[in-house]
A and B are shown apart, each in its own frame.
Chain A
């Protein structure tokens, strides 16, 4: 089976001259369907930069990003939103939910963005929310939810529109260990049951035990351990 996503010799350099930082240095990496890949490494090692390039949010300075056998790293700027829409769900450290939307509406928003069938918007948003154990929280605003609940809404949102890849940057960093574990289990579930490819950036030792594969990053390079 071909990988859903491949990085070939990918490099990202920030700044110029004295401020030049090689955040990611010639990384080659592939991601398989139904796989949960964990990226670990010290702060500043380039994890977020790498994840952003995987998600077509950030352009590599050099190298190729290949999704579903198509080279996308040289796509027009104009094409990138549609690529992201089609292939990716994102989960953030600080949830990034719309404070003025309820849990269900936060999910419905993404369904609308992805031009989901109009008649099924609300039902499908609700189903996604329920899938993450939030049946009773659908009408709650983010300000009335716990961190774990918010991150589960974010998972439901990432899954909206059924993208094949979900990228999560330190999804448990703002959660206590128990709710963090819960969120990781849900992510694992997405890989196993929903056949998603999952990439998690995390320092969390619990993630290490759950991941199918772990990649260590140091100074922008993959390190064997």
Chain B
């Protein structure tokens, strides 16, 4: 009966095209929404995920990674007092204004770290070496910032809040949720920027620590919560979760993406359901004839489901290819798309299921079709 499914599917090209448009529409809309959401969440947690630390200490009531507040850096001693800590370090996250060649300014996110510790920030180095940041006004900027600040050439001098910094390196693909360019520099230099915004010196934004055993993360975090009453202490997983939940739930952004993705599925499902149903109704006499000639309901269901399934596979493939072709253009416009094999596969099953469910009304029509009526049609 799959034979019949294929023959009739390709004979009715007009309807096939409408079905495919519906599925392509669903695929493109849901896939971009989910990929954009995942891309944003990926950016929002990129440093958090990359730093190989098990424990994150932040200022009290922090909402997410980007909204860091300073606290006294000597609290690192409490962290070091824990025997399970292998190493710990301080991090600074603050903001500055980079003066551009055209006279304008661009707000940048500044990450200050100690290049001697094993913190491995920044990663994906295109040029230069984080070690080069150690002794002075040197910085590494992520290459994706070029869209915002213009060409980044090594050893050029830039003004950051009126201080002159030399560009000694480039990383690639490190972004934050805010989309502000990220500038890496030494901890001491970054601390200077915090002081400028009216904070006392010797403050840090985060203290990170690596443990002997990741499995101890939760216990150590609980212990530290007691000794660091004026801070929030997270395991790496909890801080990632907190950050993702902030952007997803508290800003309502997640709901926005979710609703658009669902809308895409519903509209696509409705189009597919409608065309499959119209097709079934148009062939009701023939299906009835088949039943009279001895076909079982299941034989005819197979035809309907096969046609729907083939349309779903074809439409999904077209939609996915369109997105892969458009990916570079979309990312050039500053939108990160996270597209993985897992995402393609999961969404495929969702779309396939939507299409098969939308064939339900057609199947019901066939089930109740009485072959005795074919003599009267």
Chain A contacts to B: CB under 8 angstroms: 48, 51-52, 55, 57-58, 81-86, 88-90, 92-94, 96-101, 105, 109-110, 112-114, 157, 169
User: For residue B298, which residue of chain A has the nearest CB?
Assistant: A81
Q: What are 6 of the A-B contact pairs (CB < 8 Å)?
A: A57-B372, A81-B295, A85-B293, A96-B288, A100-B7, A113-B299
CB of B276, distance to nearest CB on chain A (Å): 15
Across the A-B interface, the 6 shortest Cβ-Cβ residue pairs: A85-B294, A100-B11, A96-B289, A100-B8, A84-B294, A58-B372
Q: CA–CA, A85 to B140, complex, Å?
A: 78
Cβ contact of B294, chosen from A92, A101, A114, A169, cutoff 8 A: A114
**Is the CB–CB distance between B286 and A96 below 8 Å?**
yes
Cβ contact of B7, chosen from A52, A82, A88, A105, cutoff 8 A: A105
Chain B contacts to A: CB under 8 angstroms: 1, 3-4, 7-8, 11-12, 283, 285-286, 288-296, 299, 371-372, 374-377
Q: CA–CA, A99 to B11, complex, Å?
A: 9
User: For residue A84, which residue of chain B has the nearest CB?
Assistant: B294
Whether A101 contacts B292 in the complex (CB less than 8 A), given A48-B376, A96-B374, comes out as: no
A58 cross-chain contacts in B, Cβ below 8 A: 372
**Is the CB–CB distance between A51 and B375 below 8 Å?**
yes
User: For residue A58, which residue of chain B has the nearest CB?
Assistant: B372
**Is the CB–CB distance between A81 and B374 below 8 Å?**
no
Cβ contact of A81, chosen from B3, B289, B296, cutoff 8 A: B296
CB of B361, distance to nearest CB on chain A (Å): 21
B285 cross-chain contacts in A, Cβ below 8 A: 94, 96
Cβ contact of A97, chosen from B7, B286, B291, B299, cutoff 8 A: B286
Whether A92 contacts B374 in the complex (CB less than 8 A), given A112-B1, A112-B3, comes out as: yes
**Is the CB–CB distance between B293 and A90 below 8 Å?**
yes
Whether A48 contacts B286 in the complex (CB less than 8 A), given A55-B292, A114-B294, comes out as: no
CB of B109, distance to nearest CB on chain A (Å): 61
Q: CA–CA, A70 to B162, complex, Å?
A: 102
**Is the CB–CB distance between B293 and A110 below 8 Å?**
yes
Whether A57 contacts B371 in the complex (CB less than 8 A), given A84-B294, A96-B286, A98-B286, comes out as: yes
CB of B204, distance to nearest CB on chain A (Å): 72
CB of A208, distance to nearest CB on chain B (Å): 21
**Is the CB–CB distance between B375 and A169 below 8 Å?**
yes
Residue with the greatest number of chain B CB neighbours at <10 A, chosen from A94, A100, A169: A100
Q: CA–CA, A224 to B313, complex, Å?
A: 62
**Is the CB–CB distance between A48 and B11 below 8 Å?**
no
Cβ contact of A101, chosen from B7, B293, B295, cutoff 8 A: B7
Q: CA–CA, A112 to B7, complex, Å?
A: 13
Q: CA–CA, A169 to B376, complex, Å?
A: 10
Q: CA–CA, A113 to B289, complex, Å?
A: 12
**Is the CB–CB distance between A94 and B293 below 8 Å?**
no
**Is the CB–CB distance between B289 and A90 below 8 Å?**
yes
CB of A163, distance to nearest CB on chain B (Å): 9
**Is the CB–CB distance between A92 and B7 below 8 Å?**
no
CB of B99, distance to nearest CB on chain A (Å): 69
**Is the CB–CB distance between B377 and A96 below 8 Å?**
yes
User: For residue A105, which residue of chain B has the nearest CB?
Assistant: B7
Q: CA–CA, A206 to B67, complex, Å?
A: 94
**Is the CB–CB distance between B289 and A100 below 8 Å?**
no
User: For residue A86, which residue of chain B has the nearest CB?
Assistant: B294
**Is the CB–CB distance between B291 and A81 below 8 Å?**
yes
* Given A57-B372, A100-B11, A113-B294; 19 other pairs, CB 8 A cutoff: A57-B371, A57-B375, A81-B294, A81-B296, A83-B294, A85-B293, A90-B289, A90-B293, A97-B286, A99-B286, A100-B7, A100-B8, A100-B12, A101-B4, A101-B8, A105-B7, A109-B290, A114-B294, A169-B375
Q: CA–CA, A93 to B295, complex, Å?
A: 20
Q: CA–CA, A89 to B292, complex, Å?
A: 9
Q: CA–CA, A105 to B374, complex, Å?
A: 20
**Is the CB–CB distance between B377 and A98 below 8 Å?**
no
CB of B6, distance to nearest CB on chain A (Å): 11
A113 cross-chain contacts in B, Cβ below 8 A: 1, 290, 293-295, 299
Q: CA–CA, A93 to B3, complex, Å?
A: 27
CB of A159, distance to nearest CB on chain B (Å): 12
Residue with the greatest number of chain B CB neighbours at <10 A, chosen from A57, A114, A169: A57
Q: CA–CA, A57 to B375, complex, Å?
A: 10
CB of B261, distance to nearest CB on chain A (Å): 35
**Is the CB–CB distance between B289 and A92 below 8 Å?**
yes
CB of B371, distance to nearest CB on chain A (Å): 5
User: For residue A93, which residue of chain B has the nearest CB?
Assistant: B375
Cβ contact of B292, chosen from A48, A90, A93, A94, cutoff 8 A: A90
A110 cross-chain contacts in B, Cβ below 8 A: 293
B377 cross-chain contacts in A, Cβ below 8 A: 94, 96
User: For residue A55, which residue of chain B has the nearest CB?
Assistant: B292
B374 cross-chain contacts in A, Cβ below 8 A: 57, 90, 92, 96
